[in-house]
Chain A
């Protein structure tokens, strides 16, 4: 059947709530309103107010409460109405969500999912256009995944809910209305696995979330120019699927990373380090990383566009790398 990405997320969530009575949803306007991006639409009617919890606007406390509930075995799915708001819950996400399993010597697990929209693209201004994966990536004990298609959105949502680890699921404001045909039978995705988008021989392009589409746009041009790029959607932002990535590097010997994350301390910076550490001998050229500019995301449409990587820049970077 054919679904939009937000519907795929909703379907995954609903299936898991049907399957496991311990799964509940909490966040601002997830219930009666139906979710600001409609991911929780209809769930309150079906599952009631105890399982679909409209919280007051207090990210710090409700995130902490979700984590506390998870310590007892519930599996809360906590929605940040916008990823940027989760900065108010940073302490809970880092010190409690990420570290409790460790500091308790393994006594407690924290099977929560923290999810919400982020990214640049609707002229939402600085606070609402964040890529918090760069902030969250160094928290030990947290897993991070980014969805990019209706298929993987549903599969990752289901896998994240079933995981015993705390998982942060990144969604992108510009991708909610993507349409795709997905299987009617049940499926899940592997949380730690990268997705081969386009196999190729000349260069490995690593990307995730919305930049996948800028890369694929560039790939069209590149193919017309005679290049054969391999495109991988890394999906798992922590830990990296170095198995898939490594095999690709061994084949192409060239790596371009395209991300929407901030240049300083971003996912691309960590990925560059991981590739250099693990696969240096296979590289014929230094890893190149295209990231967003280190600026607060501006409001004006033109400025916003220049903040993130554009397809033409990807084409140029590949041409230079393959010289």
Chain B
């Protein structure tokens, strides 16, 4: 692996609120550039495949795709460790992958199979990976942010020197509980980083129609914030590194990631009634996060067009194989309907009418 240092300039300067913005020069390496390209291409391919599986009715229910927003997941992971926690909303497939989740677990969960990361009980919106501090995967808009601040509280309580990234969209940014949790986090100096993934539409409602001030990085008032080009993985990386240092030392901070989703809000939304096709294709042409990395790889002579094409072919096969393997997995056993409702009762053998004896013991 080639770890020759490369310095990359972010696409745009950061805009800061109540703090000094970090430098636009980001330290990287040829290996990291190639890794970024590969992982983002894998995420993109995975989401496109999920789209097809949905249309083939192998995935049902809700399914929210992340294509367009990959730079956020990638840049964030590049700046932090698996001891740092992440919690997000329902657009969670790629965050899960970034935390070390496997394609097999993703597709198994999406198709409701036993081998899914949540045993087929969670579905698209409920991916988790406890061992690498990924706390989900949540379906109620904004309700994951108090949880994230609670995780940050636990990190402070246990003196862990780790931080929590609580992610939400521009739609969720108008939820009252965000401001409540932010107030407590600021009062208690919690290592909480609120990451607003601003893809500019809360379902079909444009940000300016839902927020009197769509400057989400400033909406913490007394909490510092940073506006970041969320289509530039290196800007995201720099911002997350900056935010982690800030949070450990001074408490919460808001990162607004200016990003874009190519798909509609969910599979029932064609994504074209509230925005123009020109807008979508314009972003694809000018700001696509993968194209940006690709150009950097080529301009630094780290790979040829052909090598990148081959890599994409490999990725396609990897995704297809994972889907085939997931399709072969059984659906959950009927008995799984009742597992994981309760952890086994404290001091008792079982619940309800079948119980033969009652025990209360001090462990």
Known contacts A107-B118, A107-B128; A239/B150 CB under 8 A:
no
- Contact, CB under 8 Å: B148 / A68: yes
For B153, B155, B158, B339, the residue with the greatest tally of chain A CB atoms inside 10 Å of its CB is B153
B247 to chain A, nearest CB (A): 16
Known contacts A55-B184, A61-B180, A240-B352; A105/B150 CB under 8 A:
no
A305 on the B face (CB < 8 A): no
Question: Which residues on the B side are within 8 Å of A163 (C-beta)?
Answer: 343, 345-346
B270 on the A face (CB < 8 A): no
Known contacts A190-B358, A190-B359; A95/B183 CB under 8 A:
no
B284 on the A face (CB < 8 A): no
Assembly CA distance A72 to B348 (angstroms) = 24
- Contact, CB under 8 Å: B180 / A106: no
Residues of B317-347 at the interface with A, using a CB-CB cut-off of 8 Å, are 339-347
* Interface size grouping (class) on chain B: 35 or more
Assembly CA distance A15 to B120 (angstroms) = 40
Residue of A nearest to B156 (CB): A50
A207 on the B face (CB < 8 A): no
A202 on the B face (CB < 8 A): no
B126 on the A face (CB < 8 A): yes
Assembly CA distance A168 to B123 (angstroms) = 28
B355 on the A face (CB < 8 A): yes
Question: Which residues on the A side are within 8 Å of B128 (C-beta)?
Answer: 104-105, 107-108
Assembly CA distance A104 to B362 (angstroms) = 29
Assembly CA distance A188 to B187 (angstroms) = 36
Assembly CA distance A70 to B359 (angstroms) = 26
- Contact, CB under 8 Å: A64 / B154: no
Assembly CA distance A17 to B130 (angstroms) = 26
Question: Which residues on the B side are within 8 Å of A164 (C-beta)?
Answer: 343-344, 346
For B120, B122, B157, B158, the residue with the greatest tally of chain A CB atoms inside 10 Å of its CB is B157
- Contact, CB under 8 Å: A69 / B150: yes
Question: Which residues on the B side are within 8 Å of A192 (C-beta)?
Answer: 345, 348, 351, 355, 358
- Contact, CB under 8 Å: B180 / A69: no
- Contact, CB under 8 Å: A165 / B118: no
Question: Which residues on the B side are within 8 Å of A191 (C-beta)?
Answer: 345-348
Q: Mark A240-259, 1 if CB is under 8 A from B, else 0.
A: 11111010000000000000
- Contact, CB under 8 Å: B343 / A109: yes
Question: Which residues on the B side are within 8 Å of A187 (C-beta)?
Answer: 362
Question: Which residues on the A side are within 8 Å of B184 (C-beta)?
Answer: 55-56, 58, 61-62, 65
Task: List 6 interface pairs A-B (beta carbons < 8 Å), by A numbering.
Answer: A95-B140, A108-B135, A190-B359, A193-B360, A242-B352, A243-B358
A-B interface, 9 closest residue pairs, ranked by CB to CB distance from nearest: A68-B150, A64-B146, A61-B180, A65-B150, A105-B119, A68-B147, A58-B180, A164-B343, A242-B353
A65-B153, A96-B138, A141-B342 known, 15 other contacts, Cβ within 8 Å: A58-B181, A60-B146, A72-B85, A73-B154, A95-B143, A104-B128, A105-B122, A105-B340, A107-B128, A108-B130, A165-B343, A191-B345, A192-B345, A193-B358, A243-B352
